[in-house]
C-alpha cells in the first residue's frame, strides 16, 4: 500500500499545486471567483481569495514531499468538501459561474457543475484514502518516523 499512497499523494499534490499556482498569478481573478459564489460576506472576500492559493500550495508541498501526509490529506479533504458544497450551492441557486478551481471564475454562459462535482468527489475519495493509509513510499514521513 505504500506505493498506492505515493501515487495518490503525488496526484493530489499535483492538483493542489496546479490550482494554487494559477490563482497566485492573478489574485484579482480569484477575488472575482470567490465573490461569484455569493457565500462569503464581502469583508471576507479579499482575505479568503488571497489566502486560498497559499493554503493550497502548502498542502501541495506537504503532499509532494510526503511530510505530514495524513494531516495534509485531511486538510485537503476538508477543502475539497467545502469546494463541493460551494459548487453544489451555486448549482442549486441557479448561478451560472465558473468554479475558479484552476484560475478564472465568475460569470459564465456554460457552467460545468456536474463535471466539477464528479472531479472533486474523486479528489475527496483520494484524500480520504490518504488519511486512512499509514505509510507512503518515498516520503519524508518514512524517513522521520521510526
Q: What is the pLDDT of residues 59-108, one digit of tens each?
A: 999 999 999 999 999 999 999 999 999 999 999 999 999 989 998 888 88
The CA radius of gyration of the chain, in Å to the nearest whole number, is 16
Query: So what's the pLDDT on residue 143?
Result: 86
Query: What is the tally of structural domains in the chain?
Result: 1
27-36, 48-57, 106-115, 117-126, range with the lowest pLDDT: 106-115
In a domain, 146, yes or no: no
pLDDT for residue 85: 97
52 closest CA partner among 88, 80, 93, 94: 80
Nearest to 95 by CA among 85, 103, 87, 84: 87
Is residue 143 in some structural domain?
no
Residue 121 lies in a domain: yes
145 part of a folded domain: no
Give backbone dihedrals phi and psi of 68, rounded to 5 degrees, phi first: 60, 40
* 128: containing domain: 2-138
Is 144 part of a structural domain of the chain?
no
pTM above 0.85, yes or no: yes
Please give the DSSP secondary-structure letter assigned to residue 56: H
12 found inside a domain:
yes
In a domain, 63, yes or no: yes
Q: Would you say 106 and 90 are in contact if contact means Cβ atoms under 8 Å apart? A: no
Amino acid at each position: 500500500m505504500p506505493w498506492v499512497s505515493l501515487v495518490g499523494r503525488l496526484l493530489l499534490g499535483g492538483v493542489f499545486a496546479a490550482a494554487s499556482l494559477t490563482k497566485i498569478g492573478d489574485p484579482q481573478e480569484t477575488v472575482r471567483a470567490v465573490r461569484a459564489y455569493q457565500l462569503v460576506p464581502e469583508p471576507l472576500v479579499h482575505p479568503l481569495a488571497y489566502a486560498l492559493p497559499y493554503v493550497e500550495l502548502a498542502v501541495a508541498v506537504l503532499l509532494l514531499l510526503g511530510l505530514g501526509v495524513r494531516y495534509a490529506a485531511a486538510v485537503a479533504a476538508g477543502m475539497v468538501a467545502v469546494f463541493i458544497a460551494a459548487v453544489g450551492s451555486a448549482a442549486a441557486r441557479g448561478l451560472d459561474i465558473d468554479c475558479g478551481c484552476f484560475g478564472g471564475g465568475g460569470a459564465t454562459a456554460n457552467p460545468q457543475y456536474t463535471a466539477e462535482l464528479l472531479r472533486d468527489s474523486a479528489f475527496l475519495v483520494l484524500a480520504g484514502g490518504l488519511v486512512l493509509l499509514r505509510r507512503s513510499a518515498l516520503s519524508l514521513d518514512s524517513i522521520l518516523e521510526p
